[in-house]
């Protein structure tokens, strides 16, 4: 399979217009959070964040396939001693655009440094919000199975009669379980909490996440040959992992230094700079590269 990784230098609000409608299988991204990374990305204020981001989510809704998924890594900050509501406001406005807020995953930063403020402790988690265009989307749950765990050794030894039937929750939620279903199983489906270290190989970006984070979602929501998009490419982690997992990918980055860094990192032997003087690529310009 011939893989293609495209990277663009520019503002997502402009560069997303280049991507065809209904062409992307998975969007995985972590945009600059409100009032953060001012020295690099300018720091959009809490009050302006939703208005700034909605034109981007509108374009993402256009380019995502009906069967695709959008994973947004974002976290509200503390303002004047209380949590900001801009993430919740963004979710509500995205629902008005037509997005379905399907699920929420939590990234537990298991090596987070401790800390204390007068009214709270240090955050050790971040949100990963799942959005979809339709209620029927591609999801490959078997690709992210985990070992059953030590709990099964003792819990499954002596089962009661209740453990052998689907026992509905007593709180009336409608959820239930049949404990005997786990007998003999070596792997099970994970929860929606991901326990991943913040350590990563790329230390040259102010907010690089570990490769295991996009890798887990790429496996869950795509297969080989699918197209992955990161409209806030940064250090290129999503694109690098997508390439390793035999997916096509697209990255957009507004800062030239990070764009150039990714261009050097992505498999140098496969990197091709299109020479517009000698070739006719109407849909390309000097800011676009491709890996084939």
pLDDT of 130 above 90 = yes
Which pLDDT band holds residue 275 (cuts at 50, 70, 90)?
Answer: very low
pLDDT digits (tens, 9 = 90+) for 3-23: 888 999 999 999 999 999 999
Residues 154, 168: Cα–Cα separation, whole Å:
22
pLDDT at residue 272 is higher than 80: no
What is the arithmetic mean of pLDDT over 13-42? 81
Q: In this model, does residue 227 exceed pLDDT 80?
A: yes
**What is the mean pLDDT of the segment spanning 120-130?**
90
The pLDDT value recorded for residue 172 is: 66
**Of residues 19 and 83, more confidently modeled:** 19
- Proportion of the chain above pLDDT 90, given as a percent: 53
Percentage with pLDDT > 70 across the chain = 81
Task: Please state which of the ranges 46-55, 152-161, 192-201, 275-284 shows the lowest mean pLDDT.
Answer: 275-284
Mean pLDDT of 270-278: 37
* pLDDT score recorded for residue 73: 95
State the pLDDT confidence band at 40, using cuts at 50, 70 and 90.
Answer: very low
Q: Is the pLDDT of residue 214 over 70?
A: yes
Mean pLDDT of 30-59: 78
What gap in Å lies between CA 37 and CA 43, rounded to an integer? 6
Q: What is the pLDDT of residue 39?
A: 45
Mean pLDDT of 112-116: 79
User: Could you read off the pLDDT of 154-211 as tens digits, one per residue?
Assistant: 888 788 888 777 766 666 666 677 877 778 888 989 999 999 987 544 455 445 679 9
């Amino acid at each position: 399979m011939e893989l293609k990784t495209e990277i663009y230098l520019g503002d997502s609000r402009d560069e997303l217009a280049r991507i065809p409608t209904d062409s992307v299988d998975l969007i995985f991204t972590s945009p600059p959070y409100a009032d953060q990374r001012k020295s690099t990305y300018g720091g959009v204020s809490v009050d302006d964040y939703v208005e700034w981001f909605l034109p981007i989510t509108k374009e993402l809704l256009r380019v995502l396939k009906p069967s695709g998924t959008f994973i947004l890594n974002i976290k509200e900050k503390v303002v004047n001693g209380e949590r900001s509501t801009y993430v919740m406001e963004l979710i509500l406005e995205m629902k008005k655009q037509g997005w379905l807020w399907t699920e929420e995953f939590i990234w537990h930063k298991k090596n987070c440094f401790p800390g204390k403020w007068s009214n709270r402790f240090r955050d050790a988690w971040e949100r990963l919000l799942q959005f979809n265009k339709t209620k029927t989307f591609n999801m490959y749950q078997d690709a992210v199975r985990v070992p059953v765990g030590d709990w099964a050794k003792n819990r499954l030894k002596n089962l009661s009669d209740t453990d052998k039937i689907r026992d509905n929750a007593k709180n009336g939620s409608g959820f239930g379980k049949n404990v005997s279903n786990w007998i003999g199983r070596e792997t099970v489906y994970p929860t929606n909490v991901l326990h991943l270290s913040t350590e990563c190989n790329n230390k040259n970006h102010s907010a690089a996440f570990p490769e295991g984070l996009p890798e887990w979602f790429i496996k869950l929501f795509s297969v080989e040959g699918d197209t992955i998009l990161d409209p806030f490419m940064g250090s290129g982690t999503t694109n690098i992992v997508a390439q390793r997992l035999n997916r096509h990918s697209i990255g957009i980055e507004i800062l030239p230094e990070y764009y150039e860094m990714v261009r050097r990192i992505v498999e140098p032997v496969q990197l091709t700079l299109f020479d517009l003087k000698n070739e006719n690529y109407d849909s390309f310009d000097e800011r676009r590269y491709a890996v084939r």
